[in-house]
Structure 1
């Protein structure tokens, strides 16, 4: 350690109480002069307090399991998805159904479906859980507008596009509560999870992976959402029930936040058969 750094640290520690940011700055300075073995020792010493902080809300009586145990791995995965448990994700992380069932009993998890559970103190993240169970689903239409910041209206339900050939009746048999309704002029499935706005499952033309991106739900979990261009194309279709105000606002915001990408939007609109409708809006808004 340089003499200069020693003097700085000595002066800082002796002169006054340090703020958290100042302490972090000092630690960063110290880390730069440690060798690989010393850094490994520091990491090892910080593991327990770090994981105690990260996992505390999931623990029973603040009892942390051994860091190299299956129970610890289970809790890490639980925290990663904010208390929402998907069996397939746990299996991918090396945690078998035997351990899932065992720890589910210990931590009093609530069963949502036969493939999903949630910690009792956590909110059910319906869009996330549904997509993990039905991987072809994509948040779209008015729901995507909000997640993409193309409108300020908070949707009262989450629209999910499903492939046209998907048998929605099979989903109806595997969820807790469902009913049928018309959405955009076609028969769609309304799925309800406890403490969540309903999901509306509607059949859709194929959605290419290039027209899908990852966003976060209000609970902080990753979900698949149609891109801005595909979303605008979807709400411009003749059978769309999107409000006129939402269409205008979405197109205006798209051009404000994506300068120079108008041709991309027109290209997707042409591909989806709504270019003439888009051009009508662009002309009225003087955007193109």
Structure 2
């Protein structure tokens, strides 16, 4: 077979292909040669420009999703550690909470998500360098996530004679002095959600007297910040993270007076200015005490002995025996 002889045009085309294949990719940009001629770039400026063009760019389909992640994600300092916080819902207490993950756990959870990786690296992500605070006063806390969500209802004028009758004739058993005390105790709760009551109210009565009706209504009105419990460990146990953003606690048949180990803890959470709060697998922290404690029971002996001993300002518990003859049905 006779050898193939390249003509001039074919040879030139082949040489251009080889040169284009092996030259700097930046040179392939349309108009690059003309750009150099017009601006007369020096070598160092040209090198810097090439470097800038080679910088990695965020994925175009994920860069706009940072705002969406910010709705329920944040990087939060938790004591001496920094965690990725994810807003979640506590099925036990029926309230919002924050799960704190390490960066490794977060990456494992979203190991195939470019959106999650992009959010974590973005300068626009939510970051709380001062961690969590809980402040119902509305004060601004820089770089901190305030857990206060407000009351669950809005105050409006209305007719409330039925519940007032229940307070006077059932909870106070017709005693006007007790009636006024109960009204003022609950008014203090709404007027001073950031201050502890320093006295717990206890309603004792037989089954079906309606001793818990008022307390349950109060807890519902507080939404996120009211908790209804029925076991003593949730009041005096070691792990009490639910106190972190709680202003009212209703212990419904939850306390046994023979629990000597819980006596000191009960006194502390009623009267002290601060609380030690500890979640499982996390450092214990000290927070301001804002608890207003209500207890209802049909037992004769409800709280440990000693809680009704007068202090400088009076006893730390006030017991009201509910009447079962005037219950509102």
Short-chain TM bin? under 0.3
Larger Rg: 2
Q: Which has the higher helix share?
A: 1
Q: When the two structures are superposed, what TM-score results if normalisation uses the length of structure 1?
A: 0.24
